[in-house]
Amino acid sequence: MLNRNILKIDKINAFSSATAYVARYKKEHPQRDVISLGIGDVSKPIVKPIIEAMHKAVDDLADMSSFHGYGGYYGLPELRQAIIDNDYPQFGFTIDEVYVSDGTKSDCTNILELFDINSRILMADPTYPIYRNRCYALSREVYFTPLDENYQMVIPEEHYDVIFICSPSNPVGNAMTYDVLEKWVSYAVRENAYIIYDNVYEAFISSPDVPKSIYEIPEARKCAIELRSFSKRASFTGLRCSYFILPKEIDTVLFKERTINRFNGASYVAQVGALASFLPESRELLQKNIEIYKENITFLKKSFEKMGFEVTGGVDSPYIWVKNKENISSFEYFHKILNEINVIIVPGAIFGPHGEGYFRVSGLGTIENSRRAVERFQRYYEESH
């Protein structure tokens, strides 16, 4: 019998239906200049010091004396040490608590193998849809919590076993302050629950009251697994490398056993590239890229606000979450904007029923395209109102 739960997603509001619509639209109107503000991919190439390190890594594989084959199930020790030294210097983690992998998209739900099949799993609505869709596919028990008036996940009264927190948030674009996150950690400790903390947008955090890591809250070591990725911070979206921290207070045995049986390790070349991302010369270049994306999202945030939209996010993340001004569904609005001004936005309903009435805009594209898209929006609203 096939696992039909893989299709247990809201097909009408699925990401795939929006991308299929865009593909069809472009094919039918090849002469139209379509600009995407929906982009989740990066628009900066991998920086030179990382490329050079990877060239050398490729050469390593050409000679048996420097060849790397099977065996690095949890990642290269030098990369795991660099992650601790650079990203978590104050927490005293050891490399046994770091797992290198091939992307947070896989990690965020592969980690569910650590938890009992009957665990009650909680996530936000709206949410990064992969958590929801993969949980359905794995026949896991999924529950949702809405956002409050500050667009923060409401802490439930009931018991849940596993909680997905995405901060900085995709899609909402805001981040949890220390105070808010501390309440979630207290909830998890009180309920004997675990937090899967998706922190892939950590590089974009600049607000002083937003922790860079959940482990800034000391009790988080007992309950939180933090996931990070090289995708957005170092343009590894096609190369693939990520990691997560599984503190020894949670587990030292189960996930190692699981990993040895399940995963043959991340690509050697990608890991060497990830290691090179910590070189001072790489860090400087990568920080410049992040500043450019941040400038872009700030421009978009201000522009939509100026046009009278209610906007959240865009300070500690590359996304803004915009309330649709028209009384139509988020998919109707997406179709309308694509047809009228040839701009792609992401309809909020993709992220869950409470995303209805909103759309997501990304600052990961180029500033030139953002300017052109904003001009089209301005003209559209001047002409139609």
Give the range of 49-57, 182-190, 229-237, 246-254 binding ligand PLP by CB under 6 A: 229-237
Q: At closest approach, how far in Å is the CB of 211 from ligand PLP?
A: 17
Kindly list the distances between the CA atom of residue 80 and the CA atoms of 244, 245, 338, in Å, as whole numbers in the listed order: 10, 10, 44
Give the range of 2-10, 100-108, 155-163, 252-260 binding ligand PLP by CB under 6 A: 100-108
Q: Is the dihedral of CA 102, 245, 204, 362 positive or negative?
A: positive
Dihedral Cα 11, 338, 233, 74, nearest 10 deg: 20
Residues numbered 112 to 131 that lie near ligand PLP (CB under 6 A) are 128
* Count of positions on this chain that bind ligand PLP (CB under 6 A): 14
Q: Based on CB atoms, which residue is closest to ligand PLP, 199 or 342?
A: 199
Q: Does 105 bind ligand PLP (CB under 6 A)?
A: yes
CB 246 within 8 A of CB 225: yes
Q: Does 170 bind ligand PLP (CB under 6 A)?
A: yes
Q: For residue 227, how far is the Cα from the chain centroid? A: 9
Q: Based on CB atoms, which residue is closest to ligand PLP, 359 or 377?
A: 359
Nearest-angstrom CA–CA distance, 355 and 232:
24
Give the range of 45-53, 101-109, 116-124, 374-382 binding ligand PLP by CB under 6 A: 101-109
**Segment holding 321, helix H or strand E:** strand 319-323
Q: At closest approach, how far in Å is the CB of 332 from ligand PLP?
A: 25
| Closest residue to bound ligand PLP by CB | 103
Give the range of 103-111, 137-145, 277-285, 357-365 binding ligand PLP by CB under 6 A: 103-111
Q: At closest approach, how far in Å is the CB of 182 from ligand PLP?
A: 21
Two tokens, residue 222: 């007992």
Binding mask 278-317 for ligand PLP (x = CB under 6 A): ----------------------------------------
**Cα–Cα nearest to 244, from 98, 78, 77, 91:** 98
Using the structure block, give the residue that is written with the tokens 């959940």. Answer: 214
Type of residue numbered 69: G
Tell me which of 231, 296, 303, 342 binds ligand PLP, using CB under 6 A: 231
Query: Residue 216, exposed/middle/buried by CB under 10 A (0-12, 13-18, 19+)?
Result: middle
Binding mask 186-215 for ligand PLP (x = CB under 6 A): ------------x-x---------------
**Segment holding 167, helix H or strand E:** none
CB 290 within 8 A of CB 104: no
Q: At closest approach, how far in Å is the CB of 251 from ligand PLP?
A: 22
Query: Residue 177, exposed/middle/buried by CB under 10 A (0-12, 13-18, 19+)?
Result: middle
Interface contacts to ligand PLP, rule CB under 6 A: 40, 103-105, 108, 128, 166, 170, 198, 200, 229, 231, 237, 242
